[in-house]
Amino acid sequence: MRVFPRVVALALILISAVTVPLAMAGFDASQRAEIVSIIREAMKTDPSILKDAIAALQADEGERERNLARDTLASVRGRLVSAEDPVAGNPDGDVTIVEFFDVRCPYCKRIEPAMAQFLASDKKVKLVYKDLPILGAASTLGSKALLAAHRQRGYEAFRTAVMKIPSDITMASLEGVAKKQGLDWARMVRDMEDAGVRQQIERNLELAHILNIQGTPALIIGDEVVPGAIDAADMAKLVAAARRAKG
52 lies in the same domain as 131: no
66 lies in the same domain as 127: no
98 lies in the same domain as 178: yes
Distance, C-alpha 203 to centroid of its chain: 16
At position 175, the amino acid (one-letter code) is: E
Q: Phi, psi at residue 100, to the nearest 5°?
A: -90, 125
Q: What is the pLDDT of residue 53?
A: 64
Give the domain-ending residue among 22, 49, 78. 78
Quote the mean pLDDT of the chain.
86
d(CA 115, CA 18): 44
How many domains does the chain contain in total?
2
Range of the domain at 124: 81-246
Q: What is the pLDDT of residue 104?
A: 96
64 lies in the same domain as 183: no
pLDDT digits (tens, 9 = 90+) for 79-132: 999 999 999 999 999 999 999 999 999 999 999 999 999 999 999 999 999 999
74 lies in the same domain as 88: no
Distance, C-alpha 22 to centroid of its chain: 39
Q: What is the pLDDT of residue 144?
A: 98
Give the domain-ending residue among 16, 45, 78. 78
57 lies in the same domain as 141: no
Check: CB of residue 86 under 8 Å from CB of residue 155.
yes
31 lies in the same domain as 107: no
Single pTM value for the model: 0.75
65 lies in the same domain as 135: no
128 lies in the same domain as 155: yes
pLDDT digits (tens, 9 = 90+) for 160-186: 999 999 889 999 999 999 999 999 999
d(CA 97, CA 116): 13
90 lies in the same domain as 74: no
Question: Tell me, what CATH number does 96's domain have?
Answer: 3.40.30.10
